[in-house]
């Protein structure tokens, strides 16, 4: 009981510290002087004052991400003219997304191809501790989340092929290794964390922790094989909220988690959004095969076994770290453990 109380106190202190840390950064952006500066930049970019008058700016607040002080929809226009719509996103200066867009985490990324395209910022304001990125508005942001999920799931194979296209255009070149931003480290959960954060009994937590230990051993045995796979730039969060598929083109947004990783890494989110079909190996292998089929047009050495290992290993690392902690993630947690053990049994031989 004492251990559980300490863990809860530690988590509460961490949240409080982060909130306090964010406050001065938010003030840096929300001050009247900064907003006036931002408005000036927007108006100047829109053509400034003309005979038609000064453009009006309407901000509509949107739910921000965890690392974003604020997110706004901007409607910019003059009376009698159609408005230009943008997304105004504040990010911390030490955020991965800002670093990515300043091209410090991947050398010269290729962000558009035949089957994919990235939503790039059109302007950037650098503050002292936080900055603002402006993106073209994506119409999918106005759509119902359920309809986006249905559309995503009905196009999973073609999306997998488009992701392979994105990964293949951004393979590591000979020379110094590209940055490996994906943290390949499995954090061992505590017994009390499993109980409180997944809503299970002490006995179930003990059994789950034993299974996790077995999966972790399997993961460690696969690490050498993973590092031998071809390396590429991965979006790491290809989901209905960050991507849309229209007219044969996958549009990718929010590169806050983008980093280097082995081919197949990006498939973990596609598998996650497969719904109940994620437990069907036939469905998952069809998804992986669509990715491999496209990837082999660029690198014929990539195999289904390679991609399956990278996808499930990343799935294990991402979904057993208790970041997604609630009873509704229990089945996903168990599946990640089960598949990691199975993949290691099948793919234990060293790769090229």
CATH code of the domain containing 335? 3.90.1200
Q: Are strands 84-92 and 243-246 parallel, antiparallel or unpaired?
A: unpaired
Tell whether 68 and 127 lie within a shared domain. yes
Tell whether 77 and 103 lie within a shared domain. yes
Nearest alpha carbon to residue 335 among 282, 272, 288 = 272
Tell me which of 114, 136, 158 is where a domain ends. 136
Within-domain flag for 265: yes
Mean pLDDT of 193-201: 92
Tell whether 168 and 124 lie within a shared domain. no
H helix intervals, the chain: 2-30, 32-45, 96-101, 145-154, 156-169, 191-198, 202-227, 267-272, 281-295, 304-319, 330-346
Tell whether 241 and 273 lie within a shared domain. yes
Tell whether 88 and 228 lie within a shared domain. no
**DSSP 3-state percent helix, strand, coil across the chain (nearest 5):** 50, 15, 35
More confident residue, 30 or 36: 36
Chain position carrying tokens 């829109």? 46
Tell whether 250 and 180 lie within a shared domain. yes
Indicate if the pLDDT at residue 80 is higher than 80.
Answer: no
Tell whether 84 and 192 lie within a shared domain. no
Q: Are strands 249-252 and 243-246 parallel, antiparallel or unpaired?
A: antiparallel
Tell whether 38 and 79 lie within a shared domain. yes
Q: Predicted confidence band at 255 (pLDDT cuts at 50, 70, 90)?
A: very high
Tell me which of 86, 106, 136 is where a domain ends. 136
Lowest mean pLDDT among 21-25, 172-176, 207-211, 307-311: 21-25
Within-domain flag for 293: yes
Tell whether 189 and 278 lie within a shared domain. yes
- Cβ neighbours of residue 322 closer than 8 Å, sequence gap 6 or more: 187, 189, 193, 194, 197, 198
Residue 334: the pLDDT is 95
Within-domain flag for 240: yes
Indicate if the pLDDT at residue 155 is higher than 70.
Answer: yes
State how far the Cα of 214 lies from the Cα of 212, in Å rounded to an integer: 5
Within-domain flag for 352: no
- Cβ neighbours of residue 225 closer than 8 Å, sequence gap 6 or more: 309, 347, 350, 351
Residue 13: the pLDDT is 45
Indicate if the pLDDT at residue 92 is higher than 50.
Answer: yes
Tell whether 115 and 167 lie within a shared domain. no
Tell whether 165 and 124 lie within a shared domain. no
More confident residue, 350 or 56: 56
Indicate if the pLDDT at residue 183 is higher than 60.
Answer: no
pLDDT, tens digit (0-9, with 9 covering 90-100), for 239-253: 998 898 888 899 999
Q: Are strands 130-136 and 123-126 parallel, antiparallel or unpaired?
A: antiparallel
Instruction: Say which CATH number the domain at 103 has.
Output: 3.30.200
Within-domain flag for 351: no
Tell whether 175 and 86 lie within a shared domain. no
Tell me which of 75, 103, 136 is where a domain ends. 136
199: domain range?
A: 142-346
Mean pLDDT of 2-14: 47
State how far the Cα of 87 lies from the Cα of 100, in Å rounded to an integer: 18
Both tokens of residue 113?
A: 């191809």
- Please state the domain count of the chain: 2
């Amino acid at each position: 009981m004492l251990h559980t109380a300490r863990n809860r106190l530690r988590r509460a202190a961490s949240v409080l510290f982060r909130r306090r840390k964010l406050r001065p950064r938010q003030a840096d952006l929300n001050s009247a002087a900064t907003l006036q500066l931002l408005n000036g930049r927007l108006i100047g970019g829109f053509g400034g004052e003309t005979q038609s008058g000064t453009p009006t700016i309407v901000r509509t607040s949107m739910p921000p991400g965890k690392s974003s002080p604020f997110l706004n929809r901007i409607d910019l226009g003059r009376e009698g003219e159609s408005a230009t719509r943008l997304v105004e996103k504040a990010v911390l200066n030490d955020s991965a997304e800002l670093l990515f867009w300043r091209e410090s985490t991947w050398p010269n990324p290729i962000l558009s191809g035949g089957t994919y395209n990235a939503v790039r910022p059109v302007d950037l304001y650098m503050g002292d501790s936080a900055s603002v990125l402006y993106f073209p508005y994506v119409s999918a942001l106005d759509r119902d989340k359920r309809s986006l999920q249905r559309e995503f799931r009905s196009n999973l194979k073609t999306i997998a092929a488009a992701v392979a296209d994105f990964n293949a255009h951004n393979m590591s070149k000979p020379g110094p290794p590209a940055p490996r931003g994906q943290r390949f480290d499995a954090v061992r959960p505590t017994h009390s964390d499993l109980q409180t954060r997944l809503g299970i009994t002490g006995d179930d937590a003990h059994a789950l922790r034993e299974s996790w230990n077995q999966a972790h051993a399997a993961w460690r045995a696969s690490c050498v094989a993973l590092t031998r796979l071809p390396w590429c730039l991965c979006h790491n969060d290809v989901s209905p909220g960050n991507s849309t598929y229209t007219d044969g083109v996958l549009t990718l947004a929010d590169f806050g988690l983008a980093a280097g990783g082995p081919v197949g890494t990006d498939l973990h989110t596609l598998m996650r959004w497969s719904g109940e079909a994620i437990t069907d190996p036939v469905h998952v292998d069809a998804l992986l095969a669509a990715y491999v089929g496209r990837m082999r047009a660029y690198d014929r050495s990539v195999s289904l076994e390679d991609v399956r290992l990278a996808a499930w290993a990343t799935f294990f690392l991402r979904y057993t770290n208790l970041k997604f902690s609630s009873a509704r993630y229990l089945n996903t947690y168990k599946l990640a453990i089960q598949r990691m053990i199975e993949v290691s049994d099948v793919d234990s031989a060293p790769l090229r």
